[in-house]
């Protein structure tokens, strides 16, 4: 089975008493251990551009390739995750909520969690100079399948424009908030000009995966180094059938 992985992180830092929504937190000490393990086993960072070309049959990438993704754009990425990535020689992509930059992640309050600070424009631009890549996590962090068609379309398209204006470059990669997606949302994402969309479905990367429904392995607060290694090396089979825009279009003909 493939050892090409896309890993999903949210916050990285020092946390206490995390008992719910553990996949949105990672202790910085454990994060550093995870990077060390991947480095020891010869894993190399690739970009989602590389993954897109691989899935399109236009590029080969090493078997032990990994994409590190960070949802929401928390300030603790700047403080904790980025220095560790630099030390161990890994790159990353951060998915920004375009309408919340410099604000707080107010959606966390609904789940009884502290509304953590999101990165500022200045911090984002500084990280860009050091090679950190950025994608869109929507404009308002909405559950897109629960919105009217034009609300979802506007959120996806507006976030792209805002981030491109901020970064001064094309934004090609999208992350579905809450992993919430279906065929219609995938079509809107494609029509908006994104090359990839990442989900919360678990699987390693094989060449039959749709670029608009890329699975990721969530790294949880409770993962020991052995638990992380188990996910990295062995948890490769999807729990359920992964959506495919290409297959949907083929079946409809």
What is the per-residue pLDDT across 191-210, written as a single tens digit (0 to 9) for each? 999 999 999 999 999 999 99
DSSP output for 190-244? HHTT-SEEE-S------TTS-TTSB--EEPPTT--HHHHHHHHHT--S-SSPPP-
Model confidence at 253, in pLDDT bands (50, 70, 90)? very low
Q: pTM, whole model, 2 decimals?
A: 0.95
CA end-to-end distance (rounded Å), the chain: 32
% pLDDT > 90, the chain:
87
What is the per-residue pLDDT across 105-147, written as a single tens digit (0 to 9) for each? 999 988 778 899 999 999 999 999 999 999 999 999 999 999 9
Q: Which pLDDT value is given to residue 95? A: 98
Model confidence at 20, in pLDDT bands (50, 70, 90)? confident
What is the set of domains in the chain, with CATH numbers? 5-251 (3.20.20.370)
Q: Scanning the structure block, which residue is given the tokens 């989602």? A: 48
Beta carbons of 108 and 71 less than 8 angstroms apart:
no
Pairing outcome for strands 65-72 and 93-96: parallel
Q: Scanning the structure block, which residue is given the tokens 């949105």? A: 24
Pairing outcome for strands 25-27 and 11-13: parallel
Tokens coding 139:
């404009």
More confident residue, 235 or 189: 189
């Amino acid at each position: 089975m493939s050892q090409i992985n896309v890993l999903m992180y949210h916050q990285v830092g020092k946390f206490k008493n995390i008992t719910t929504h553990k996949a949105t937190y990672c202790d910085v000490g454990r994060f550093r251990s995870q990077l060390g393990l991947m480095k020891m086993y010869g894993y190399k960072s690739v970009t989602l551009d590389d993954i897109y070309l691989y899935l399109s049959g236009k590029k080969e990438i090493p078997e032990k390739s990994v994409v590190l993704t960070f949802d929401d754009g928390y300030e603790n990425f700047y403080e904790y995750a980025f220095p560790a990535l630099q030390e161990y020689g890994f790159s990353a992509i951060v998915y920004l909520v375009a309408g919340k930059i410099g604000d707080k992640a107010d959606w966390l309050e609904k789940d009884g969690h502290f509304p953590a600070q999101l990165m500022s424009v200045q911090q984002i631009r500084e990280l860009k100079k050091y090679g950190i890549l950025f994608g869109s996590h929507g404009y308002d962090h909405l559950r897109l399948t629960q919105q009217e068609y034009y609300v979802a379309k506007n959120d996806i398209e507006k976030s792209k424009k805002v981030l491109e204006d901020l970064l001064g470059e094309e934004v090609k990669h999208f992350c579905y908030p809450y992993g919430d997606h279906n065929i219609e949302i995938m079509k809107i994402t494609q029509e908006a000009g994104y090359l990839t969309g990442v989900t919360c479905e678990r699987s390693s990367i094989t060449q039959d995966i749709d670029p608009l429904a890329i699975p990721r392995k969530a790294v949880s607060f409770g993962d020991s180094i052995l638990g992380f290694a188990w996910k990295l090396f062995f948890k490769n089979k999807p729990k359920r059938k992964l959506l495919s825009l290409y297959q949907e279009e083929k079946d409809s003909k």
